[in-house]
Amino acid sequence: MAPPAGGDASFDERLKTLLAQSGQTTVLFGQVDMIGLSKLKARFGATWEKLAGRADHIARGIIERHLAASDIYTTLHRVIYVIAFAGLTAENARAKCTLIADEIAKALLGEEGTDLLSVKTSVKAVDGTFRLDSIKPRDGDGGSEGEQLEFVEPETPAPAKKAVDSGRPPSLVRKEQALANLRFAYRPMWDSARNVVSAYRCTALAPSLDGTPPVDAGVIVGTDAVAIHHLDEAIRGQVLKDLEALLQDNCTLLLSLPMHFETLGAAARRRQFVETLSKGLDERGRKLLLVEIHGVPQGVPQARLVELLAPLRPHCRAVMLSLPIEMVDFSNVKGCGALAIGCDISGHPGPEFIMMQQMNRFARAIADKTGLPSYLHGANSLSMVTAALGAGFAYIDGDAVAKLIDHPRGLVDFRLADLYRPLTGS
């Protein structure tokens, strides 16, 4: 969403509205990020004023291309861009901001400019407003705990002593480097009706340069169609490789291959995908492969989904659809050929009680309107797993069930009591 003409006050009001919609009244750590061009301005010196308008136009275009419809941003002094992400965790929001900053710098100066932009994150809620860790009080260098900070144009910072103090976020590699250095892991999925972990979903992780935990590669590629396609190809290659190894060991577990709707929606790429499955899998392999299509937009006609799923189904055990948890109309999903319908809540930072309400509505609507089982990705707390069971989700994954693992481990008996064993010690 473009920045309001009214400036900071209008942004602040819209920010409060965005938070209220997620059940919050104050800004939490990591929900608001800032991209600063001050070092870039200092580099150009007196000529900046002639370039500022073009730089601002380029920066806005890149930012808007990466934002979802519910995200908002505003500009300050034409060198600061404040962004609020409606549906990302703090870690993913910061990663996405890093991607945006690098893309802006590269557009303005090429590769040599990627160290000239800074990214900062909100650190404290103050009486329902927010502040950023790079914004300084008007009088003084520090500011006491809880003191209201104002937006002022930051001075060019002194050279950092350490990389972690440089003002940069965790230095995630850019898209090209990330796609060349992916690490793959698997998320065990619990079949709650059969009390077993029998399926493992492949996930691609992008490395960081400073030793911090890797980030979901999907955050790094953003909405770049070419990068999405390359990411899907990499995951597909890894899953088929691991599936071949499992077949040699006579394992009978299921591997879930996530693919973007954008990739499979293109007829040529869909044919290529089907040909790869046809050549790479025998009958035994097809029985162990699940294809999950995620990023399915709302309102896709049923005929389009049938067209998408029909050529895939003969080459795998089943096709599943991951839909936005906010989706309310499932008439296009019924009869499209999917085995199960699910959603992913791992990137939603809102309060649990709001998410639980959405989970109940989603699972109930799937059961009532499609008659299909539902699944849930991203249940990262015991309370969310319990809520998912109560809502009727048949398949559940997330940190509360099992952490990411390097390789699938076969069929594993898993019962409700196993969720609580770390707490009970039994």
Report CA-CA distances (Å) from 81 to 55, 65, 67, 414. Answer: 12, 14, 13, 47
Q: Could you confirm whether domain 176-424 is CATH 3.20.20.450?
A: yes
pLDDT digits (tens, 9 = 90+) for 207-218: 765 556 778 888
For position 256, what pLDDT does the model report?
A: 97
Asked if residue 151 has pLDDT above 70, the reply is no
Kindly report the average pLDDT of the chain as a whole number.
Answer: 77
- pLDDT confidence bin for 158, thresholds 50/70/90: very low
Q: Does residue 398 carry a pLDDT above 70?
A: yes
Strands 374-377 vs 395-396: parallel, antiparallel or unpaired:
parallel
pLDDT value at position 235?
95
Question: How is the chain split into domains, by residue range?
Answer: 8-136, 176-424
**What pLDDT is recorded for position 59?**
87
pLDDT tens per residue across span 242-299:
999 999 888 889 999 999 999 998 899 999 999 999 998 999 999 999 999 998 888 8
Which residues touch 413 (CB under 8 Å, ≥6 apart)?
195, 196
In this prediction, residues 192-211 reach a mean pLDDT of 84
Candidate from 22-36, 237-251, 343-357 with smallest mean pLDDT: 22-36
What are the structure tokens assigned to 315, written together? 């080459």
Q: Are 160 and 167 in contact (CB under 8 A)?
A: yes
What tokens were used for 173?
Answer: 């590699």
In angstroms, the Cα distances linking 344 to 20, 61, 72, 280, 372 are 21, 28, 22, 29, 17
Which pLDDT score is estimated for 395? 96
pTM comes to 0.66
Tell me, what's the pLDDT at 409? 83
Question: Residue 113: what pLDDT?
Answer: 57
Q: Higher confidence at residue 62 or residue 388?
A: 388
DSSP 154: P
**365 vs 38: which has the higher pLDDT:** 365
Q: CA-CA distances (angstroms) from residue 319 to 151, 302, 305, 306, 339?
A: 50, 15, 11, 11, 6
In angstroms, rounded to a whole number, what is the distance separating the alpha carbons of residues 17 and 312? 42
Which pLDDT score is estimated for 177? 74
pLDDT band at residue 123 using 50, 70 and 90 as cut-offs: very low
pLDDT at 133 over 50: no
The single-letter code of the amino acid at 136 is K
* Nearest of 188, 213, 264, 201 to residue 238 by alpha carbon: 201
Distance CA 125, CA 144 (A): 14
Cβ(338)–Cβ(320) under 8 Å?
yes
Which class in CATH covers the domain with range 8-136?
alpha beta
The predicted structure's pLDDT at residue 165: 38
Q: Is 296 exposed, middle or buried (CB count within 10 Å of its CB: 0-12, 13-18, 19+)?
A: buried
